[in-house]
Amino acid sequence: MTEKPVQLQIDEINRKLDLILDDISVQRQNREVVNDLAKDMAPIIKQIGLDGIQKFHELEQKGYIEITKQVGKTMDTIISRYNIEEIESLSDNLIRVVDTLSAVTNPGVLNKINTAVVALKDINPEDIEEYSVWRLMKQLKKPEIRKSIGFIMALLQNISKQNTYKQMSNN
């Protein structure tokens, strides 16, 4: 084997060293770019963190965190108490339930429900007297009884109308 002249070997080493120095220079530039980016991003990331902490504090002050915990407990109870078919049925009827709750929250409806609840609360089933037809007829002379019967009749008529509308829309 012939050996390369020493000068060629030195030139080859110099060329490789130049390549290594070029790589080191590129790496140094990349590191500077990354350091500059980190310096530029630091205040932004810090502000995002501070804003997140502030928002979390606001939500906690308003009670959202506690409500979220309670919703989680409620969901656990629902999941443990009902099977998937029952939950699917609930979700299928959820709009109906919300519509009903929305109607119930109307102040006029709430007052009527409250009146009925108070009246029901005051009735002791063991104290209810039997009424004969004659006694019933005597009670019908009282204006408050006639008014109550009128209310019940109006309620029954409205229920009948609702059922008729539903039957018509289903056909």
Q: What are phi and psi of 142, to 5 degrees?
A: -80, 130
Give the chain's end-to-end CA distance (angstroms, integer): 103
Residues 34 and 68 in one domain: yes
Confidence category of residue 171, pLDDT binned at 50, 70, 90: low
160-169, pLDDT tens digit by residue? 888 776 777 7
Is the pTM here over 0.75, yes or no? no
Residues 120 and 55 in one domain: no
Average pLDDT over every residue of 138-149? 92
Q: ∠ at Cα 29 (26, 35), nearest 5°? A: 140
* Residue 145 CB contacts under 8 Å (≥ 6 apart), including other chains: 139
State the pLDDT at residue 161: 86
Alpha-carbon distance 36 to 67, whole Å? 43
Confidence category of residue 124, pLDDT binned at 50, 70, 90: confident
Amino acid at 81: R
Domain end, chosen from 81, 104, 135, is at 81
Residues 63 and 116 in one domain: no
Residues 99 and 70 in one domain: no
pLDDT at 103 over 90: no
- 156 lies in which domain range? 94-170
Q: Which of 142, 151, 143 is nearest to 119 (CA)?
A: 151
The number of distinct structural domains making up the chain is 2
**Domain presence at residue 87:** no
Whether the Cβ atoms of residue 68 and residue 76 lie closer than 8 Å to each other:
no
Residues 129 and 159 in one domain: yes
State the pLDDT at residue 2: 58
The position carrying tokens 């963190």 is: 49
Residues 9 and 75 in one domain: yes
Give me the DSSP letters along 155-166.
Answer: HHHHHHHHHHHH
65-84, pLDDT tens digit by residue? 999 999 999 999 988 999 98
pLDDT at 91 over 90: no
